[in-house]
Amino acid sequence: MHTYDSDDLTAIREGVRALCAEFDASYWRKIDEQKGFPEAFVKAMTDAGWLSAMIPEQFGGSGLGLAEASVILEEVNACGGNSGTVHGQMYNMFTLLRHGSEEQKRHYLPKLASGELRLQSMGVTEPTTGTDTTKIKTTAVRQGDKYLINGQKVWISRVQHSDLMILLARTTPLAEVKKKSEGMSIFLVDLREAIGNGLTVQPIANMVNHETNELFFDNLELPASSLIGEEGKGFRYILDGLNAERTLIAAECIGDGRWFIEKASAYARDRVVFGRPIGQNQGVQFPIAQAHIEIEAADLMRWRACAEYDSGQNAGASANMAKYLAAKASWEAANACLQTHGGFGFACEYDVERKFRETRLYQVAPISTNLILSYVAEHLLELPRSF
């Protein structure tokens, strides 16, 4: 089990910080202003091998665990960047890594490790079902050596900067399965071939510079070889990756929180009003101190989730609780930082408002706070299922 200050994790932190130093606040500010995509940053992260951290060495990756991956994403945010532009590459490949055939892994993983291909997108959520995944309406019908895909997805990120996408579709109608979680399958979609040939992409403008889209499938043909694992087992496959995803998101929020706390503390030390630094006032320093305490507590739960996941245990409870605590703590840190800066917190040049918007996302996605509370109530407290 790793500890937060072990030598290998310290080396990772230093390496990521060195890379992030080449992409300063003005770089991220410009990307945000242009509603652009940080192509140079993503390429640098890929070339340095950070995005292939969890790919086994035999396929060209580093073969590291969730603990190391979480540190990479944490440091990007702690340095003032936005790891939401690269995190998909890490957690989207879990399905391929755990359930793909040997042939699929040999074909795709080395290309993902080298950066020749990108797997930044996962198509699960739909407009009419949201997080009620078992009710998805996108269908995949087998016709000979092909599957015909029809339906719609929403909030699918980074399609414009991804070569491949993990897609969840129903292969057996809901009325014909014994359990509603059965009858869904996972496919690996080559976006380069699909877009314009049965797949239409409609970007969604949003308050965060988060590249996300609505997808429309109209008789998209996929080769049967694009099926990952067994037909009908897709929902279980997706769940396997969610614990890793939630733990990684928790780490990102911890990185955000530390950025906000450092930023607020520095400003509170230097800003003088009424002849004294504002940080001398308890009304200013207490919210910052409280945010620091909550981030540290969330961090401990992150390490527990990483330890359980990397040792092969069921990390469901810890991953959910880590994500809940970290998202809440980062949002409170964001509020404290903005309030500390007063009017300057709203000025783009200080970067607080950009990071403020970015970290707010994580109380909604990739799973809302309320659903985590429902999970804890049902699975840990043995209360009746609420939905």
Q: What is the pLDDT of residues 270-291, one digit of tens each?
A: 999 999 999 999 999 999 999 9
Whether residue 213 is found in the same domain as residue 245: no
Whether residue 143 is found in the same domain as residue 41: no
Residue 56, domain CATH: 1.10.540.10
Three-state DSSP at 218 gives strand
- 85, 107, 334, 370 from 295: Cα distances, Å: 22, 40, 11, 20
Whether residue 377 is found in the same domain as residue 242: yes
Q: What is the mean pLDDT of residues 152-181?
A: 96
Whether residue 270 is found in the same domain as residue 220: no
Listed in sequence order, the DSSP H helices in 161-233 are 191-194
387 is a domain residue: no
368 is a domain residue: yes
DSSP class of residue 376 equals I
Provide CB contacts within 8 A for 151, sequence distance 6+: 126, 136, 137, 138, 139, 169, 217
Q: Which of the listed residues 197, 213, 233 is the one where a domain comes to its end? A: 233
CA atoms of 68 and 49, how far apart (whole Å): 12
pLDDT-derived band at 3 (thresholds 50, 70, 90) equals: low
386 is a domain residue: no
Q: What is the mean pLDDT of residues 218-243?
A: 94
Residue 251, domain CATH: 1.20.140.10
pLDDT-derived band at 94 (thresholds 50, 70, 90) equals: confident
Whether residue 227 is found in the same domain as residue 243: no
43 is a domain residue: yes
Q: What is the mean pLDDT of residues 279-305?
A: 98
Q: Which of the listed residues 209, 233, 257 is the one where a domain comes to its end? A: 233
Burial of 62 (0-12, 13-18, 19+ CB in 10 A): middle
How is residue 284 written in tokens? 């200013």
1 is a domain residue: no
Q: What is the mean pLDDT of residues 79-100?
A: 92
DSSP class of residue 57 equals G
Residue 130 pLDDT: 86
Whether residue 40 is found in the same domain as residue 126: no
Nearest of 156, 172, 152, 154 to residue 164 by alpha carbon: 156
Q: What is the mean pLDDT of residues 300-314?
A: 96
Residue 168 φ then ψ, to 5°: -105, 125
In the chain, the number of structural domains is 3
Whether residue 227 is found in the same domain as residue 176: yes
Whether residue 36 is found in the same domain as residue 66: yes
Nearest of 358, 356, 362 to residue 328 by alpha carbon: 362
Q: What is the mean pLDDT of residues 241-269?
A: 96
99 is a domain residue: yes
Q: What is the mean pLDDT of residues 283-300?
A: 98
How is residue 114 written in tokens? 């080298």
Whether residue 246 is found in the same domain as residue 371: yes
Residue 7 pLDDT: 85
CA atoms of 184 and 174, how far apart (whole Å): 9
Taking 60 as the threshold, does the pLDDT of residue 321 lie above it? Answer: yes
Q: What is the mean pLDDT of residues 215-236?
A: 97
> Tokens 């990102």 correspond to what residue?
252
Strand-pairing partners, residue 26, are none
Which residue did the predictor score with more confidence, 355 or 242?
Answer: 355
DSSP class of residue 371 equals H
Whether residue 249 is found in the same domain as residue 331: yes
**DSSP secondary structure letters along 18-33:** HHHTTS-HHHHHHHHH
**Strand bridging mode 121-123 / 164-170:** parallel
Residue 353: domain span: 236-381
CA atoms of 215 and 169, how far apart (whole Å): 13
CA atoms of 258 and 72, how far apart (whole Å): 14
Nearest of 325, 278, 280 to residue 300 by alpha carbon: 325
Whether residue 131 is found in the same domain as residue 220: yes
* pTM for the full predicted model: 0.95
Whether residue 181 is found in the same domain as residue 216: yes
Q: Which of the listed residues 68, 99, 114 is the one where a domain comes to its end? A: 114
